[in-house]
Structure 1
Amino acid sequence: MGTEKMKIEIWADIACPYCFIGKKKLENALQLFPHADQVELVWHSYELDPSLKKEPKDTSYLDFYKNEKDILDELYQLSEAVGIKFNFDRVVITSTADALRTVKFARNYHLAADTIEAFFQAYFTNGECISDRKVITEIAKKVGLPVDELVRTLDSNEYIAELTQDIRYSEDILILQYIPFYLFNNKTVIQGSIPDEVYLETLEKSFANWNVNGISTSEEKEFAFCYSPNASGLSCSIG
């Protein structure tokens, strides 16, 4: 296949705890996969609440789960299993738009995965306000992004339209219902944070198909796995 790589496209929001867990699970699967160097992760955005402003809300993140103790307990268990420390009592509810724009900017430097990881840590573990420009620039320095160029980008309208386009395409074309949402080789769909073995199985099957047939051009998508939050609490619903 030359220098080409099989793509796994991911729609996620930094405010989605299952997206953070799913990132770790996918990375664990890639560590077990012998052809991981031939796989490229492409991060798309799915802003769960575009109405949020940069000014932090007074509402506690725990209020979202005040009647969902089982889900909260499961989140703690899942996060512990993949080495994540959730501090929901410290989470600052704010717009994720500029953070998601920064992840898009980071794709130009092949640092999108590192950048979204740093934002997940800042949001869920450190209790930082990820819409704050100082927090964003500190994360940029940490992962090795050119800060001055990033600031100029965020001061402009660049990538703003793409946030909406990502949502429209994923919902209207891919029929996204839950995040994290994964598209393997433009064919196989996974929705939700799924069991570890399903990531690896889907990765192996998709790679084998890509290795023989190349990038899938079929408009019909194959749904490998989908978890409903109402049934299992393993994804963030878009509704």
Structure 2
Amino acid sequence: MKVEIWSDIVCPFCYIGKRRFEHALEKFPHADQVEVVWRSFELTPDFRPIPGESIHESLAKKKGVSAAEGRKMNDYMATMAKEVGLDYDFEHAVPTNTFLGHQLIHLAAKHGKQAEAKERLMAAYYLQGENLNEIDTLAKLATEIGLDAEEAGTALANGTYAEAVRYDEYQAQQINVRGVPFFVFEDKYAVSGAQPTELFAEVLDKVWDESQPAKPAPVMLADGPACGPDGCEV
């Protein structure tokens, strides 16, 4: 079973949705036969970080509210994140344009480490206050999941995987993705948003059952006296 997930690195619901989906997958009896593919999606592709600006101020500007309201929104998200074991640290989060980060995830996919890269970058942003705008920081994080720092730095500087990111975003447009996280199961069913773990579990079961070939009825080799709902043959 293939599950494609469009999400952004700095989307708070995306990290929460990731955890909820993973919790469902942990209990799914066929988890070893599920291929998860992370697709790029930039919530604010034209975002330009301002040095020294806090995440509260950045969010407030985007939403057109006060910095206090921005902080209140982030506090709400932090409370929700705790429910899935994530300790969001908005006080140290650095507002980020995620184009480079998505490129790194594509590089990691080339080496079979896409899932590790996705988790490492989201943790770096939400839990550890890393500056994901910097190539040197991204290269350092790449080494932590077993990638080569020089290869990562060169690929990011040259935009080697820029078109791969753009293609993911083009695909999102084609299937009318309006918000993330957005989960597509076997190119057949879609789930939008950070849904409860129970819903993800139900979808996994449903898609799995439908993907299994129907067993043909047994061929009758002999037919004799038997009992049925209306009684027994005599």
Alignment TM-score, normalising by the size of structure 1:
0.80
Instruction: Give 1:17 shift.
Output: 0.8
Partner residue in 2 for 1:81:
83
Partner residue in 2 for 1:122:
124
Alignment of 1:179-218 (within 5 A): 179-212=180-213
Instruction: Give 1:68 shift.
Output: 6.3
Partner residue in 1 for 2:28:
33
Conserved in 2, the CA contact under 8 Å of 1:56 and 1:92? no
Instruction: Give 1:134 shift.
Output: 2.1
Secondary structure at the counterpart of residue 45 of structure 2: coil
Instruction: Give 1:178 shift.
Output: 1.0
Partner residue in 2 for 1:161:
163
The number of residue pairs the alignment matches comes to 206
Instruction: Give 1:71 shift.
Output: 4.7
Query: What is the identity percentage for the equivalent residue pairs of Structure 1 and Structure 2?
Result: 30
Give, in whole Å, the separation in 1 of the partners of 2:80 and 2:211: 31
Give, in whole Å, the separation in 1 of the partners of 2:126 and 2:162: 24
Partner residue in 1 for 2:54:
60
Conserved in 2, the CA contact under 8 Å of 1:12 and 1:180? yes
Give, in whole Å, the separation in 2 of the partners of 1:33 and 1:149: 36
Conserved in 2, the CA contact under 8 Å of 1:7 and 1:185? yes
Secondary structure at the counterpart of residue 91 of structure 2: helix
Cα distance per residue 1:91-136 (max 9 Å; x no partner): 1112211111010111112211111111111111111111212211
Conserved in 2, the CA contact under 8 Å of 1:8 and 1:182? yes
Identify which of 38, 42, 45 aligns with 2:37. 42
Secondary structure at the counterpart of residue 212 of structure 2: helix
Larger Rg: 2
Give, in whole Å, the separation in 2 of the partners of 1:206 and 1:71: 35
Instruction: Give 1:155 shift.
Output: 2.4
Give, in whole Å, the separation in 2 of the partners of 1:71 and 1:83: 19
Partner residue in 2 for 1:107:
109
Give, in whole Å, the separation in 2 of the partners of 1:75 and 1:36: 29
Give 5+ residue unaligned stretches, structure 1: 1-5, 214-239
Cα distance per residue 1:181-234 (max 9 Å; x no partner): 110111111111011100111111112222338xxxxxxxxxxxxxxxxxxxxx
Conserved in 2, the CA contact under 8 Å of 1:12 and 1:179? yes
Give, in whole Å, the separation in 2 of the partners of 1:56 and 1:126: 19
Alignment TM-score, normalising by the size of structure 2:
0.81
Give, in whole Å, the separation in 2 of the partners of 1:115 and 1:56: 25
Conserved in 2, the CA contact under 8 Å of 1:86 and 1:125? yes
Conserved in 2, the CA contact under 8 Å of 1:90 and 1:126? yes
Instruction: Give 1:81 shift.
Output: 1.4
C-alpha RMSD over aligned residues: 1.9
Instruction: Give 1:158 shift.
Output: 1.6
Identify which of 84, 97, 100 aligns with 2:99. 97
Instruction: Give 1:56 shift.
Output: 4.6
Partner residue in 2 for 1:141:
143
1:18 is aligned to 2:13: yes
